[in-house]
Amino acid sequence: MALFLSTFTNKVDQKGRVSVPASFRAELSEESFQGVVLFRSNVHQCLEGFAWSYMQEIGKRLDNFDLFSAEQDDLATSIFGTAVQLPLDGDGRIILPADLISFCDLKEKASFVGMGAKFQIWNPQSFEQRRDTARQAVQSKGLTIPKSTGGER
């Protein structure tokens, strides 16, 4: 599974092109589709980014809901209905659609934030605030990484 790490801030040019960080591209190198899947976050003013194979995993998890249930319908609509599949060009860039750029208020630069299996794309200033609130939440709630669940070793 891909493991996206660290934060990289790259420039968005007039054409809406932005370089995907080289280390992220390395994580995608084994994928059948050379590119990323993006959709609007339901929580933040940012974009959620995934490798193609992980979208299949999300599909499986959605199967845990009853088919035609309201929850399944809402989630599937907000995720799959709005997702875009963006191929990498020869130089490792993607073209961000204008509506996604305006959704997360991107100006000159975009921050790619590694979050393990997925990543997010933020306006750099907005992400600084988000990073601070996330750290405070971890400290105040005493969040920790749980031990691996279940019977495996």
Binding mask 87-116 for a copy of itself (x = CB under 8 A): --------------------------xxxx
Q: Does 56 bind a copy of itself (CB under 8 A)?
A: yes
- Closest among 18, 50, 62 to 120, alpha carbons compared: 50
Q: Which of residues 15-44 bind DNA (CB under 7 A)?
A: 15-16, 18-22, 25-26
Judge contact between 6 and 24, C-beta under 8 A.
no
Q: What Å distances lie between residue 119 and 6, 55, 114, 116, 150, CA to CA?
A: 10, 13, 5, 7, 26
Tokens of 96: 């961000």
Q: What's the min distance (Å) between Cβ of 66 and a copy of itself?
A: 9
Taking CB under 8 A as the criterion, the residue among 25, 31, 76, 126 binding a copy of itself is: 76
Q: Where are the alpha helices (DSSP H) in 29-152?
A: 52-62, 70-79, 98-103, 124-141
**Residues constituting the chain:** 153
- The Cα–Cα gap between 141 and 153 comes to 28
Q: Does 128 bind DNA (CB under 7 A)?
A: no
Q: Does 93 bind DNA (CB under 7 A)?
A: yes
Q: Is the dihedral of CA 17, 3, 127, 83 positive or negative?
A: positive
Nearer to a copy of itself, 14 or 116 (CB): 116
Q: Does 128 bind a copy of itself (CB under 8 A)?
A: no
Residues that bind DNA (CB under 7 A): 8, 10-11, 13-16, 18-22, 25-26, 87, 89-93, 95, 97
Residues that bind a copy of itself (CB under 8 A): 1, 3-7, 23, 37, 41-43, 48, 55-64, 67-68, 70-71, 73-85, 113-118, 130-131, 134-135, 137-139, 141, 143, 145-149
